[in-house]
Structure 1
Amino acid sequence: MSASNSHHASSAGLEDQKQGKRHDLEARRGSLLPDLPPEILAAIFLLIPRDVGDTSWIRVTHVCRLWREVALNYPRFWSVLNSVPPCFMEFALARSGCAPISVHTSEDTPDDILFKVLSLDQLQEVSLNLTAGGRTVLSHFTKSFPILETVEIFGDVSESWFMPKNFLSESRHLKHLLLDNWRSFTWGRLPQAAQCGTLLTLSLNVHVDAEDVLSPETFLQCMGRMPLLQILELEYALPSTQADFATSSSPFQPVVLQHLRELSLK
């Protein structure tokens, strides 16, 4: 065999080896950790960042058959939705099963999708941006939410948002409540759920209704029903009769918030 033929045969052999390795890697693609049980792999999937409006985390279902099966059959993978497109949100909610659901919506989220979200008993965290039709959406907060812990509602200062009667009254595990850019707020309608002793965060950026004649005593009593409060942020939210704190002759019952670590009053 000539030197040139020998060199050609050697090159062909090396190329065959490279090709074989490529085929082997393709076959093992997505299974580089073959000993991981599906539940561990699923837990890793939950660590994928989910930015606002981003659905790129679904790409794990395109890696290999194993990853696809794990993701599609793991309800929690589909239960954290951060302002995703409406069609995607509907698809994900259908796959979320009985997993606790965390939903952040945008101003473009249609009302029918919002109603579907608020009809779920497994809703644990919800953040809404209200539009002009928000009053109808708020009425859905009068139902029972067995595991709801976080509610964030961002309004429009040009609109007047009124809390419906029994707003969040059946949310006995509420821990975090944020109301931003609300007009015509009245302390008398502060959700019953916020005063049942479980609240950790209360953040209000609201404009108190001029007719809200909440007395200092009642305001302090309201604060006293939140013994676990850790963060209190009140912006334009103090009652209009706050001057009575200095002029009232009757003594006030002191309120002790021993867990409070952040306080902001404006």
Structure 2
Amino acid sequence: MHSAHSQELEDRYDTKIDAHFAEIRILREQRNADCSKTRKLPPEILSMVFGLLNNERPKYSHREWIMVTHVCRTWRMTALNDPSLWIDFTNVPPKWIPEVFARSKAAPLNLRYGHDSDYHIADQTSFIFDHVVEHPERIKTLEIHNKWHFFELLTKPAPFLDSLLIDAAVTFPPDFLGGVAPRLKFVSIRGGVLPPNASWLSNVTRLTCSRVHIKAPYLSKLTSLHLDRGWAALDARDEVVKRTSIDMLLSVLENMPLLQLLFFALPRQVDEVPSSRPTPVYLHHLRDITAHFYDCPTSATIFNHLRVDNVERLHTIWPYQFNETAMVEPVCAFFEMCYHGDDLQYLLQTTSDLEMHRYIGTTTFHTPVLLFARFGPTDLAGVLNLLPRCVPRTFATRVGYLEKTTLPLGDCDTIEELHISTEYQRFTPFLFPAYTSPPYPSLRRLHLEYISFVPKAKRIPQLKRWIAGRKSSTKVELLVMKGCRLSSKDIESLRKAVPVVSD
């Protein structure tokens, strides 16, 4: 009898405890809802914020992103009720795919198939692709990385498709997309060939490919063209017209009057016969150019036959360790003629690059205006002479491990900031010998990165004399040292000659 009474008492207390826990949970929910700083945000704003987080993938995995649905009831209901947050299946665990697809409702989808970094779970996703074959209006972006029968089944209009990427040797069916894709703006195809005439390409503005039809009507609307290495010009029968040449590329470009961004990589086998065009090709809107010359630096003469209203960025990639300044002349002449921005006042040289920027300030991030990649000129002054408007203010170089290194442009009287770095921290790659006339007469700031001054302590006095030997009118105002492994004693010694910032 006593045992039954004890059990009844325990049950009564447990019931009261559970009721208190339920009340606490309700109070916490009310507190979160009433006191949260985001409680006044409408669902539309929350959805926009969640969408930004969702778009950060692969920075955030799918599992990390859905943690927002665990914050509070409001966030959860907002996220679950917005179909646009569930349209991408990248990195989604297989067991979640049906649920994510259900949450997408009727929203257009981002679909990928066959890429190593994406899912390899055709069984789990086949029902999605079977669905969009019947309902192609569900496709927003489509990315295919192998030849797959699904591609050939897309014969109905895709009114919301805006991006198509195919990395496979596919053949487009004559009735692909039913000839209707009014929002399709970006097409990238590697391995296959776009048809010369296709109504579903009529609104494309960005194209990446390796084979292009010279007279394809959709070229006239392009604002961005990316020609991969090994590109070829084709005729209406998909046959290569002839060996690639400068004139061939110019013929392709002149059919693109709206072009703003151009990236082209010339193949190994290029006909080096000079262009016979009587007048240059004028692309009024072209602003951004990247040219890979690889094994054919003489192809830089294409810039003798190209004109634009105002180039804002010119990036050229040359053969490794290429240093033939004469071949750079057409690029520099084109840039001088077609660049109308501020004077070039910033110069940067790394191991294999020569970059020129607009000079804004020593702490401001710089975007290259003119860049020669893989180009290690032996005569920097000669290159600068080709660009008379360039006034170097900052010079940065990465030196090797050899003890005796001569810095170029030492006579330049406009350089105010000098950066020296090395990959080989255990060496002392740069000496600061005494000069009758110290180099860089206008130098104000000196940055040294990973320059080791040990074990040879005499390097510190050399550096002090190098700094102190300058005229008072051009005195170095700041020495910045990063990763130089200096002792506190060495730093204090240097501070007697110049203000020092060290890590």
Q: TM over 0.5, yes or no?
A: yes
Query: Is 1:136 equivalent to 2:149 in the alignment?
Result: yes
Superposition TM-score, scaled by structure 2 size: 0.37
Q: How far apart in 1 are the matches of 2:107 and 2:281?
A: 42
Superposition TM-score, scaled by structure 1 size: 0.63
Q: How does 1:154-193 map to 2 (within 5 A)?
A: 154-155=167-168, 160-167=169-176, 169-180=179-190, 182=191, 185=193, 188=196, 192-193=201-202
The higher radius of gyration belongs to: 2
- CA drift of 1:114 comes to 3.6
Q: How far apart in 2 are the matches of 1:148 and 1:135?
A: 19
Query: Is 1:258 equivalent to 2:279 in the alignment?
Result: no
Query: Is 1:54 equivalent to 2:61 in the alignment?
Result: yes
Structure 2: which 5+ residue stretches go unaligned? 1-22, 205-217, 294-503
Match of 1:102 in 2: 110
CA 1:178–1:47 in 2, change beyond 3 Å: closer, same or farther?
same
Match of 2:463 in 1: none
Structure richer in helix, relative to its length:
1
Match of 2:137 in 1: 121
Question: Which of structures 1 and 2 has the larger relative contact order (alpha carbons within 8 angstroms, sep 6+)?
Answer: 1
Structure 1: which 5+ residue stretches go unaligned? 1-19
In the alignment, is the contact (CA less than 8 A) between 1:147 and 1:173 conserved in 2? Answer: yes
Query: Is 1:84 equivalent to 2:92 in the alignment?
Result: yes
Q: How far apart in 2 are the matches of 1:161 and 1:174?
A: 19
- CA drift of 1:152 comes to 1.6
Structure richer in strand, relative to its length:
2
- AA matched with 1:258: H
Percent sequence identity over matched residues?
Answer: 25
Q: How far apart in 2 are the matches of 1:257 and 1:140?
A: 41
In the alignment, is the contact (CA less than 8 A) between 1:174 and 1:198 conserved in 2? Answer: no
Q: How far apart in 2 are the matches of 1:222 and 1:167?
A: 25
Match of 2:31 in 1: 28
What SS is found at the alignment partner of 1:41?
Answer: helix
Q: How many matched pairs?
A: 235
CA 1:84–1:150 in 2, change beyond 3 Å: closer, same or farther?
same
- CA drift of 1:121 comes to 0.7
Q: How does 1:59-78 map to 2 (within 5 A)?
A: 59-78=67-86
In the alignment, is the contact (CA less than 8 A) between 1:124 and 1:147 conserved in 2? Answer: yes
Match of 2:330 in 1: none
Q: How far apart in 2 are the matches of 1:265 and 1:45?
A: 40
What SS is found at the alignment partner of 2:47?
Answer: helix
